[in-house]
Amino acid sequence: MTDTAVIDPAEDALYERIRILLFSADLPAQRLESDIDDIGRFTAPDVRSSQLRLIEVMPPLAPAAEAIVRAMIRAYGTELFGRGSANSALRAMIKAGPVRFGQTALTLGPDAPLPERVRPLVAEINRIFERYPESGFSHARYFLSAIGLPVGRDRLPQVHRSVQRGRNLEGSPDSRVALNNPELRVFRSSI
């Protein structure tokens, strides 16, 4: 017998419904660049409507994006389509895209005034980014570990050797590339 994930059919139906909402929203398709491989094929000038093309093709979400959507479904279920805070979270995810929504959720500190049922969702999103470091915050995790903060990642990106050797971050060419990285702008401004 093989190891296959058993997915609840109700969860699958909600997942497909959310994908349709993500793809059909009258918003720029580029917002999904972290969620769909090669988003440019849907935004080319010869494409009639990026939303229509996304709906026609129904491309799979990137693994991290799919995991974030499914985590929200497990946390809120059909409440996502109601009138409360769960629906507000769904609308925020549709506007930003799942990966960027997840990145924003991780910026909430442990002291943030969150409902208790949101905390496990934020913890799950953190685990998702640990499983899929290419989806975001891998550079931030590296810099946090470089200054001694525990982040749960053992593998370090190779482009940041100057930090690894203990050099001044502002001085090396590698650091200028790292500090100009869009993923790190928020992180850098908070230092």
Same domain (yes/no): 79, 124: yes
Tokens linked to 53: 């093309």
Same domain (yes/no): 18, 42: yes
Residue 143 within a domain: yes
pLDDT of 19 higher than 50: yes
Same domain (yes/no): 111, 148: no
Q: Residue 166 is part of which domain span?
A: 137-189
Encode pLDDT of 62-96 as tens digits. Answer: 999 999 999 999 999 999 999 988 999 999 999 99
Nearest to 106 by CA among 18, 187, 11, 21: 187
Same domain (yes/no): 149, 165: yes
Does residue 34 contact residue 100 with C-beta atoms inside 8 Å? yes
- How many structural domains compose the chain? 2
Same domain (yes/no): 70, 101: yes
Nearest to 125 by CA among 43, 57, 69, 78: 69
Residue 37 within a domain: yes
For 41, counting Cβ atoms within 10 Å of its Cβ (0-12 exposed, 13-18 middle, 19+ buried), the class is middle
Tokens linked to 81: 């389509």
Same domain (yes/no): 152, 62: no
Encode pLDDT of 127-175 as tens digits. Answer: 999 899 887 666 666 666 777 766 554 444 443 333 333 333 443 333 3
Same domain (yes/no): 77, 165: no
For 79, counting Cβ atoms within 10 Å of its Cβ (0-12 exposed, 13-18 middle, 19+ buried), the class is middle
Same domain (yes/no): 123, 72: yes
Same domain (yes/no): 74, 22: yes
Task: Select the more confidently predicted residue: 125 or 142.
Answer: 125
